[in-house]
Amino acid sequence: MAHQMARRTKELKRSVEAALLSNQAKATGNSTTARTSAMIGAWLDTNTSFDVTTGSGLTPGADPATVGSTARTDSSTQRALTATLINTVMQSCYTEGGEPDRLMVGPYNKTVVSTLTGRSIAREMIDSNTAGSNVTVFATDFGDLQVMPNRFQRERDAFLISPDFAKVSYLRNFQVSTLGKTSDAETKYLVVEMGLEMTQEAAHGGIFDLETS
C-alpha cells in the first residue's frame, strides 16, 4: 500500500505541474462541473508574443479576453523560437519592472535554445538527450537566464518566469483518506486542491505558438 501511495503521489504531483503550466481558465464550478483555477497560460497578458498570421482558414493567436477568466487563443500557425523573440519579451518584462531569470520550454524547444547563439559547431555537438538533461545558463542583455526543459508544459509555449511573483497555493494540501472496505481489499484515495497564485503577471513573459518539432 505504501508503495502504491508513493507512486500515486508522484503521479498526482506530475498532474499538478502539468496543470500549472496549462492554458486553463478559471471556472467557479457548479453541482455538475468541478471548479478550476486559472493557470499560467490564462494569466499572461502583458508581456506576450504570439503568432498573428491571418488569412483564409487561419486563426491568429490572442491573449486572454479577460485575464484569468478566459484561456488564450492559440494561433493555427506556428513559428520557430528565436533569440529575438526571447529578447523582445525579456525587454518587455524588464520595462514592466520584472526580472525573469528562468526560461521554461518544452523538450524540442530546449534543443532549439541550445543552438541559439549561432554556432554551427554547437549544432553538431548537442544531441537532444544531452540538451534535455541539462539546464543551460545564458548571460543576456537583461540578466542571466536559466533555460530548463519541462515536458509537462505544452511544447508550443515558452515561459519566462520571475519565481518571486508566482507560487502554488493549496486549498487542500495533499491528503489521504480511507474509503470503505470491500471484502479484504483496502482502498484509499489521494486528493489535492491547489491553484496558481499569480502575484504579478507583468513580471513574467510568454512566447506562444512555437513550432513543436
Partner 1 sequence: MLTKQILDHTGHVMSEFYVDEVDSRNLQIHHKVTQDIEPTLQLTKSLRDNQHLDPFANKQSGWKRVAEIPRVLYDQLAQQGITRDKKKFRAWLNDYANRPFRVWEGHL
187 binds partner 1 (CB under 8 A): no
For residues 197 and 166, is the Cβ–Cβ distance under 8 A? yes
Show the site string, 67-86: x = touches partner 1 by CB under 8 A, - = not: ----------------xx--
Question: Rounded to the nearest 5°, which phi and psi values hold at 125?
Answer: -90, -25
213 binds partner 1 (CB under 8 A): no
> Nine-digit cell at 84?
529575438
Residue 34 CB neighbours (<10 A): 8
Minimum distance between the CB of residue 118 and partner 1, rounded to whole angstroms?
5
Which residue of 35, 54, 66, 163 would you call a contact of partner 1, by CB under 8 A? 163
Q: Which is nearer to partner 1, 3 or 181 (CB)?
A: 3
* Closest CA relative to residue 195, chosen from 176, 167, 174, 175: 167
Burial class (CB within 10 angstroms; exposed 0-12, middle 13-18, buried 19+) of 60: middle
Which residue of 33, 139, 177, 180 would you call a contact of partner 1, by CB under 8 A? 139
Residue 4 CB neighbours (<10 A): 10
Q: Which is nearer to partner 1, 53 or 136 (CB)?
A: 136
67-75, 132-140, 165-173, 198-206 -> range binding partner 1 (CB under 8 A): 132-140
Minimum distance between the CB of residue 53 and partner 1, rounded to whole angstroms?
24
Q: Which is nearer to partner 1, 7 or 35 (CB)?
A: 7
CA angle 83, 86, 90 (to 5 degrees): 135
> Nine-digit cell at 9?
503521489
For residues 158 and 175, is the Cβ–Cβ distance under 8 A? no
Which residue of 58, 143, 169, 176 would you call a contact of partner 1, by CB under 8 A? 143
Which residue of 120, 173, 182, 213 would you call a contact of partner 1, by CB under 8 A? 120
* Closest CA relative to residue 104, chosen from 39, 49, 159: 159
151 binds partner 1 (CB under 8 A): yes
Where along the sequence are the contacts to partner 1 (CB under 8 A)?
2-3, 6-7, 10, 83-84, 87, 101, 116-122, 125-130, 132-141, 143-144, 146, 148, 151, 163
